[in-house]
Structure 1
């Protein structure tokens, strides 16, 4: 396979990453609305709209902010609007999307959890997006460090590298099965599945980034890992309170 993989659509060459990213968001949203129609828990239009706006605004801001702060030294060396706009990370999107949702819920005075319904559409969107990351190889910053393990793959240069996108896809598939089993038991409070997803995903990303190129800011931790620590602490506190 030659990296980066591209497709010819309507006479134009389109890279796999933005194509799969857009496809993931579209399919994820369609799956979410399908689940919402089937759900017995009805939320008012005002609440749904506020949560959607809060999540979208927070995710957009967070993905750009944390994406650019992954290498703050490069960011401050020269101002490049195109680079700033194209730097994204799902970690920042999830973390700040959460903040956006919580602020929106406070504005409309909605206290119940709204997260469980979005868990599996979100995981599906990430899985599809990560296929695009893998097909891009080393040409965007979603690749792994060189390795001599049996999992090493050539991703566009002379090194065998950790295919971290494939690791993430495998993790999400296993997590999907586990969370479905939890959800089917129906003995946990509303919001618990979402909390468990966030805790599991951010814990996974914290460790995964040790085998990805990163700029070390505090100790040997990068920006994404520092964000992960904050979210992990928050959700340990939330889940502990849920169980008491």
Structure 2
């Protein structure tokens, strides 16, 4: 790990579009333990929008829609882009070379569109259900979803080999065991504080199973993970934690 300030700036610069610049020479692999902190910041942004929308007497569905849109804007749709590319690549490609070509293509295809629609509907639907009970449950769920989902990413980056020798994932590097453990611990602590033990355990089990399946698919399709696959992993985490929070109030 680098210095705390250096790591935080690097983590925020990578995970968000906030006006933060990564220090020169900062290694993302070393700063990856801060991903849950950056996620909590994104969740707080969405939570503020939920609170403001509900204060203006907007219906829960509208408040949830605005909040999810705000979190997407706060990250520059980084993870949504990864989800769409992965869906297109894994759904439309059969040979490794072709899948990697699709992952690099900036255009979005049918699989990507459907994946984004499903992702937004599930997140907005779950958050709308929580917002119907007030701003508090929705805010806590957003913080947990964004912190918890990002807490698992460094472990995924460490456990799953990189699919190619260039690109975002390769440039980020491989987090150390301590960095991966630190990120996971932070993600669990934040989720536990926001949602309680039951929802945290269920979310952890569901996320572990989902990421194991995603890792297996990525290795089978392209030999490992890329930045787009990491984006898909984050989206899966967000969705699962929000759904669990809505199902286990």
Which interval holds the TM-score relative to the shorter structure? 0.3 to 0.5
State the structure with bigger RCO (CA 8 A, min sep 6), 1 or 2: 2
TM-score by length of 2: 0.36
TM-score by length of 1: 0.37
Query: Larger Rg: 1 or 2?
Result: 1
Higher strand proportion? 1
Higher helix proportion? 2
